[in-house]
């Protein structure tokens, strides 16, 4: 993992993007990144994505399933995008056209809903071309995000989403 982090830090130093503060009200295209390994977390994120769609937002979601294969009956009919450990290279960097397309999307806002340590999701967040990036507070990740949401360590994903929504609604541009 140390080798992966070193390669990642080198890559991120040469990365540039156009930052722009975007309120959730003004955002048209939103990217949602999350850990879909646990079915309960997937269901919570699915509900959140539906709420964003109901607000007339164009939403693209990408879930990481920390398994070699995507469980066949768990996600097959939902129409959401996923990647697995099988899609990671030796450095733990996601290596698939699906992930590359997500990274290159010009989202108004990218919301990383991962509330734990997950290098593949952190990597995608860090090099995303999104104008405004949001994620969980961690001082080590300050250079990757434009807005970090601090929640207590044992808080739930649902609480993190509520806090993220609250703060994104406070932004005026």
Domain with residue 42: its CATH number is 3.40.50
Which range of residues forms the domain containing residue 129?
A: 2-170
Quote the number of domains for the chain. Answer: 1
Among candidate residues 164, 140, 171, the one with its CA nearest the CA of residue 34: 164
Cα separation, 130 vs 148, in Å, equals: 15
pTM, rounded to two decimals: 0.88
- Angle formed by the axes of helices 119-127 and 97-104, to 10°? 40
Whose structure tokens read 């995008």? 81
End-to-end CA distance of the chain: 39
Inform me whether the pLDDT recorded for 158 exceeds 70. Answer: yes
Residue 173 scores a pLDDT above 80? no
Q: What is the pLDDT of residues 61-83, one digit of tens each?
A: 999 999 998 877 666 445 578 99
């Amino acid at each position: 993992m140390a080798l992966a982090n070193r390669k990642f830090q080198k890559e991120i130093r040469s990365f540039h993007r156009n930052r722009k503060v975007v309120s959730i009200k003004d955002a048209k295209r939103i990217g949602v990144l999350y850990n879909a390994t646990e079915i309960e977390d997937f269901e919570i994120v699915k509900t959140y994505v539906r709420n964003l769609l109901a607000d007339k937002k164009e939403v693209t979601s990408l879930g990481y399933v920390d398994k070699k294969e995507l469980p066949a009956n768990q996600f097959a009919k939902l129409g959401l995008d996923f990647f697995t450990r099988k899609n990671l290279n030796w450095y733990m960097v996601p290596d698939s056209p699906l992930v590359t397309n997500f990274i290159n999307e010009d989202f108004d806002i990218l919301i990383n809903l991962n509330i734990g340590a997950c290098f593949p999701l952190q990597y995608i967040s860090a090099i995303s071309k999104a104008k405004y990036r949001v994620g969980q507070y961690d001082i080590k990740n300050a250079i990757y995000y434009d807005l970090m949401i601090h929640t207590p360590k044992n808080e739930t994903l649902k609480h993190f989403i509520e806090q993220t929504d609250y703060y994104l609604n406070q932004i005026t541009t």
